[in-house]
Amino acid sequence: MGRPPADGMRLLHFPARGGNIMDQFVLQLLNGLDKGAAYALIALGLTLVFGTLGVVNFAHGALFMIGAFCAVVFSRLLQLETVTVDPEKLTPWGSPMEIRTPLVQAWLGDFGAFLVEWSVPLSILFAIPVMLFVGIAMERGLIRFFYRRTHAEQILVTFGLAIVLQEIVKANFGANPIPVATPPALSGSADVGTWIGLGSIYYPWWRLIYLGFALVVVGLVISFLRFTTYGMVVRAGMEDRQTVGFLGIDIQRRFTVVFAIAAVVAGVAGVMYTPIVPPNYNIGMDFLVLSFVVVVVGGMGSVSGAVLAGFLLGILQSFAAMNEIKNIIPGIDQVIIYLVAVVVLLTMPRGLLGRKGVMER
Amino acid sequence: MNFDKMNRRIFLRSSVLAGAGLAMPTIFTSRAWSQEFCNAPTGSSVVLGFNVPQTGPYAEEGKDQLKAYQLAVKHLNGEGDAGMLNTFKGSALKGNGILGKKVEYVTGDTQTKSDAARASATRMIERDKAIMVSGGSSSGVAVAVQSLCQDMGVIFMSGLTHSNDTTGKDKKANGFRHFFNAYMSGQAIAPVLADAYGKDRRAYHLTADYTWGWTQEESIKNATEALGWETVAAVRTPLGAADFSQYITPVLNSGADVLILNHYGNDMVNSLRQAVQFGMRDKQANGKNFEIVVPLFSELMAQGAGDAIKGIYGTANWDWQLDNDGTKAFTKSFGEEYGTPPSQAAQTGYVQALLYANACEMAGTFNPEGVVKALEGFEFDGLGNGPTLYRAADHQCFKPVLVVQGKESPRDKYDLLQVVKEVPTDVVTYDPSIFGGELGPVSSKC
């Protein structure tokens, strides 16, 4: 994204003073939906795992982080270079200068350049098998040994796992955020205001795409659970695992698949988030606590509750950051989510769409 | 107590127990009483404590700083190519450790959190017997650890801390800062901004909500308003927020035509990239090109921000591409050791370690009383920043400040910033009383 010429040729104009409160409303609503989309995608997997396996998975944020790093790895693979040393030229510290030649562009020409530019959306194809593998390995290798343990023990072991995964990523990729480029065609802003007849209100294309992507993923997961036989059996297992077992169905295997699906959802959410926030090893932890609040507010084990609460809390958080609100209640933007959680739990102890019996035994 | 039953035996027993109880605290500190000063080295080595963020939003700066400390220890012990020991004018260092004792070090992770930093510094001082603690990479952490070191009787050589408070209202006799501060950034960058963007500008500040952010916001506001700029709003943002969109969108309709990001580390990387994504650098406001300014940034942050940093103005304490002997020597040593050029966090850490060691040599003792006297008013050169003074009144270093700009066409991933101006020391020098605070007495007892 280069600097445009400083000759007054810029196309977009901000209002001179004040601006329209409606513009602010639309922008903050979009910010909230966007934030809510990320919360909903992570909370969706969390609540699915809880509803099926009864496990409180604190490593779920790490799955989001691994997904984000799938995008980093994939874009690095596409930008692999051959390195030759030029003994004639020296670095400022006296070592021979390295000459780097990108391989994919050298082999595939324009198509190679296209692949590099669109590496983020393409890395979803890379992330899905990786996340399936990670999800199954995590469930079979560790989580299954903790099904019958207390929630406190589950939290301790999954939190520990999250720290280990973070440290592995930090050791390999460093602690600094790694910038991942938005495809150039989608790096600008869309005039959302014109679409809805409110004049010019610009919003980044990629954030709109993230919102659309989240809605599609949420729709696919809910459809899978509601409209397929496989999903029906999973739902039956969530209601009464023992009876489903008596019918000769290996419900455990299906729950493992659900865990893998939750991992894939978190992973692709991470992939698509990389152009918005450059990933670092801690990115999953940033979302984890908020996503747990989302799950609790939505109702433990309720998929639609997680989605509803995700969007609701995202929107509230955005509006709370408006200067007009912060001038009345300073610091409200940092506590609004927890305040809402307290109010919801006091008035609706099972959360917005919580089911009877979950976490009550 | 029933005094009716008191007899001589009970009275004596009670007195002995009470006496033992009162004496108990001093038994545990008896070793301290036997020392002339806290953690006086008794063997053939001396321990320094390097307390840097290895996790949290400033982790990358911390890691680079730690590498520099390790390099400094190597050079102090006479290993390697001696780096800036060769160029240090005013040096009493001999390359045989400090006062003939081999330098050893312990490290800690501040996690960019004050409580974690204090805990790790306490461990270094109490368990590892560190005679000096250095580090920071966050002003909140630096102020907290500086105060701890004052209380515990050891010297604190702060690392990357830019808040006016560190050597202002929170200054301590045992604390010394080589890095520049927010006031200096404001004085250095404001005239450059006025030249580049004009004097009729409306600025909107987004500020990290802790001591450094507050003082930088104040300093930049004061400096730009003195030139005729108007401040539309100054909004505080939580440290470590990943998505700043809800703070950025209000800027679009505020009537501002400049966004000033008082963010550092990962926060700055995220907020700058997101501001660019919202099209701020492609737009106009009030008939002028919309501009973004990042008053403090570094090469490491520029790497994280990618293309978004191009053309952005900021200030820096030091840059590896400066053309002086000290910089060249340090860049060569660091580059050969680690394969990358050093960051400004690395340079300030390295220099602080050398300056502490040199002060001990000059004083002929590790006693903080002597070390403080040696550092106060110390003038030196050859450590990368040109002629520098450690001012006695507030323990702040005074040297030229760099105004830098993100390069439009970088040669490689390390060649991201260009030095636009080296602002002379006298322009950024100020009266120490403007920030208040008292150094107080030097503390040397554990």
CA atoms within 13 A on the CB side of A51: 31
Give how many domains chain A has, as a whole number. 1
- pLDDT interval class at A113 (50, 70, 90): confident
Residue A61 clears pLDDT 90, i.e. is over it: yes
- Between positions 167 and 186 of A, the ones with CB within 8 A of B are 170, 174-179, 181-182
- Mean pLDDT in residue range A82-101: 78
Comparing CB atoms, the residue among A15, A178, A278 nearest residue B270 is A278
Q: Do B266 and A28 touch (CB under 8 A)?
A: no
Distance CA A114, CA A109 (A): 9
- Mean pLDDT in residue range A137-162: 91
Asked which of A131-135, A179-183, B197-201, B204-208 is least confident by mean pLDDT, the reply is A179-183
- pLDDT interval class at B128 (50, 70, 90): very high
Q: Do A13 and B284 touch (CB under 8 A)?
A: yes
Comparing CB atoms, the residue among A2, A176, A187 nearest residue B303 is A176
- Mean pLDDT in residue range B212-223: 92
Average model confidence (pLDDT) across chain B: 89
Compute how many other C-beta atoms are within 10 angstroms of the C-beta atom of residue B29.
11
Q: Do A207 and B277 touch (CB under 8 A)?
A: yes
Comparing CB atoms, the residue among A23, A93, A277 nearest residue B243 is A277
- Mean pLDDT in residue range A218-225: 93
Q: What SS3 class is residue B291?
A: strand
Q: A with B: how many residue pairs have Cβ under 8 Å apart?
A: 174
Closest CA to B398 of B248, B131, B184: B184
Is A356 a member of any domain?
no
Is A315 a member of any domain?
yes
How much is the pLDDT for B26?
Answer: 46
Distance CA B421, CA A292 (A): 49
Q: Do B247 and A179 touch (CB under 8 A)?
A: no
Is A112 a member of any domain?
yes
Average model confidence (pLDDT) across chain A: 86
- Mean pLDDT in residue range B170-192: 95
- CB of A282 less than 8 A from some CB of B: yes
Please state, in angstroms and as integers, the Cα–Cα distance from residue B106 to each residue in A311, A338, B160, B339, following that order: 47, 40, 19, 24
Please state, in angstroms and as integers, the Cα–Cα distance from residue A303 to each residue in A172, A291, A311, A359, following that order: 35, 13, 13, 15
- Mean pLDDT in residue range A336-358: 86
Residue in A closest to B254 by C-alpha: A18
Residue A94 clears pLDDT 80, i.e. is over it: no
Is A75 a member of any domain?
yes
Residue A153 clears pLDDT 80, i.e. is over it: yes
Comparing CB atoms, the residue among B245, B305, B335 nearest residue A95 is B335
- pLDDT interval class at A278 (50, 70, 90): confident
Residue A90 clears pLDDT 90, i.e. is over it: no
Per-residue pLDDT of B92-124, as tens digits, reads 999 999 999 999 999 998 888 889 999 999 999
Q: Which residues of A172-206 are buried (b: 16+ CB within 10 A; e: fewer)?
A: ebbbbbbbbbbbeebbbbbebbeeeeeeebbbbbb
Residue whose token pair is 């800027």? B251
How much is the pLDDT for A359?
Answer: 54
Is A26 a member of any domain?
no
Q: Do B304 and A333 touch (CB under 8 A)?
A: no
- pLDDT interval class at A6 (50, 70, 90): very low
Asked which of B30-44, B157-171, B350-364, B374-388 is least confident by mean pLDDT, the reply is B30-44
How much is the pLDDT for A8?
Answer: 40
- Which one is predicted more confidently, A112 or B156? B156
Q: What angle do CA B4, B9, B11 make, to 5 degrees?
A: 60
Is A178 a member of any domain?
yes
Determine what percent of chain A is predicted with pLDDT higher than 90: 42
Closest CA to A1 of B279, B231, B227: B279
- pLDDT interval class at B34 (50, 70, 90): very low
Q: How far is B303 from chain A (nearest CA, A)?
A: 8
How much is the pLDDT for B9?
Answer: 64
Is A22 a member of any domain?
no
Is A50 a member of any domain?
yes
- Which one is predicted more confidently, B57 or A251? A251
Range of the domain at A149: 32-347
Q: Do B281 and A276 touch (CB under 8 A)?
A: no
- Mean pLDDT in residue range A2-30: 62
